[in-house]
Amino acid sequence: MRDETRKWIEFADENLASAKILLEQNLFNACLQNIQKSVEKYLKALLVEKGHKVRKTHSINELVQLLADLQLDMEIADEDCDLLDAIYLPTKYPLGGALPAFEPDIPLCRRCLDIGEKIAAISHKIAQG
């Protein structure tokens, strides 16, 4: 594993661990933010590991597609990518009318946490070769 990849994964692991603590405290927006950030970092870690430049994007869909182009299947459903992309801005900023048709709650956080844990496991496996 490249040193830069390891750094990305360490940051992603920390975001995912933070999300779990935040969920226990019912801090749903912060939990979702950290899950999205962890998934984004895991995906970027794999791009680095494959020798590609990290793009300045927060789109999970875009990153998953870039990895698919490199023959890496992240085993994440399109609707899960859409969900993580949909929660990025609304959980980060109080945008009023820009909020999606959901309210952050325990079931949503658990669903996203499951996605994050799956991506973490796949990312660790790929990065370790």
Residue 7 has pLDDT above 50, yes or no: yes
Which has the closest alpha carbon to 30: 73, 92, 122?
A: 92
pLDDT digit string, tens, across residues 86-115: 887 655 555 544 445 667 899 999 999 999
CATH number at residue 49: 1.20.120.330
What pLDDT is stored for residue 88 in this prediction? Answer: 72
What pLDDT is stored for residue 103 in this prediction? Answer: 79
Q: Taking the CA of residue 106 as centre, how many other CA atoms within 13 Å lie in the half-sphere pointing to its CB?
A: 3
Domain containing residue 82: 3-127
User: What pTM, to 2 d.p., does this model score?
Assistant: 0.91
pLDDT digit string, tens, across residues 36-75: 999 999 999 999 999 998 889 999 999 999 999 999 999 9
The dihedral over CA atoms of 84, 55, 46, 63, expressed in degrees to the nearest 10, equals 40
Total tally of structural domains belonging to the chain: 1
What pLDDT is stored for residue 100 in this prediction? Answer: 55
